[in-house]
A and B are shown apart, each in its own frame.
Chain A
Amino acid sequence: MNAHEPKTMDHLLDELTSAVLENQRLAGLFTSDEAAQILPFLGLIRHLRQAYRPRRANRRFAARLQRDLMGRDYTVMERVRYLPPQVQIAACLAIVGTVLVLLRGRSVLAGQALGQIVTPVEAAS
């Protein structure tokens, strides 16, 4: 573009946005005529920059997805680790509950078995 040719508004707004995104000093970048045209948009562009921030994917999610894409097998520990937290809690509760029930069942059975033990003397009488 010729230096003396007036810049279009499309071009000015593009330059202003690039300067804002790159944290450049804006004073001196534009002529006074150009500044008068773009000034009404400056606040909006700065607010958009504040509102839109690059976000990173959760590392755990990214690693799990990469593993899925690559088709690698999971170890048992990884399978458990990558379950949703609610499922992990539910699984833990189920395991603990099952163990408790089994222990209780064993002790009841053991108690019954003790009650059924017949000594040789009792048997003879």
Chain B
Amino acid sequence: MIDLRLNRREKRPRRPPYRKLEDLELVDLARAGDKQAFGELYERYVDRIYSYVLYRTGTAADAEDLTARVFFRAMEHIAGYTERGVPFQAWLYRIAHNLVANYHRDRGRRKIIPLDEYMTGSAPADQPEVLAEDREERDALMAAVRALPEERQLLLTLKFVDQLSNAEIGEIMGRTEGAVKSLYHRTLLALRDTLEDVHPTLLADMSREKLS
């Protein structure tokens, strides 16, 4: 009896904890119907996807709604996912990007992103004029960002919020690393041009910064 139990225990394949598995291994398990594996992938990416969607939509409620849709869609289609040069992370971001694009198209609007979403509390509470100035500058900058084509906004979000490498951004956007760098350069130029038109004082302030 004891021998049998030992044999059975030996035969059972030992799987490392989900946290130690690579994305691809988790995807394989999830495709085979392992919900815990999908749960681990969810934990790895929920904040990134939420953050990305929040900056593209502007409100927490819409960001939560779209984040939920991203993961439900991913779970629904994971059986058909094959890597083929598109890692799971990139695949997830592409789903998010498409859903955000649909969101803007369906509603026919670009949300005015609330200022409070961007405030990081950098100014002391007893300096309201500094706070107001910071808000105004941030508002002007984000207005310029919103005037950019969708693809460039995506690039800025992936670079500054998610802090992905050019290679990872390239995988998501279907571009080479060189093309990502070039697009980033053109994006910065476009932002400078827009700010020069709408907020020349802010651009002048920015230009006074020094390498330190």
Residues of A within 8 A of B (CB): 9-11, 13-14, 17, 21, 25-27, 29-30, 35, 39-58, 61-62, 65-66, 68-71
Contact = CB atoms under 8 A, between A and B. Distances in A.
Interface of B: 35-36, 38-39, 42-43, 46-48, 50-51, 54-55, 60, 63-64, 67-68, 71-72, 75, 117-118, 120, 122, 137-138, 141-142, 145, 156-157, 159-163, 166, 178, 181-182, 184-185, 188, 191-192, 195, 203, 205-212
Contacts of B185: 9-10, 13
A11 B166 CA distance: 11
Interface of B is mostly: helix
Given A51-B142, A70-B39, 11 more contacts: A14-B181, A44-B188, A44-B206, A47-B141, A51-B138, A51-B141, A52-B55, A54-B51, A55-B161, A57-B47, A65-B42
A80 B151 CA distance: 41
Interface of A is mostly: helix
B64 A10 contact: no
Nearest to A62: B46
B137 A47 contact: yes
A85 B152 CA distance: 37
A26 B212 contact: yes
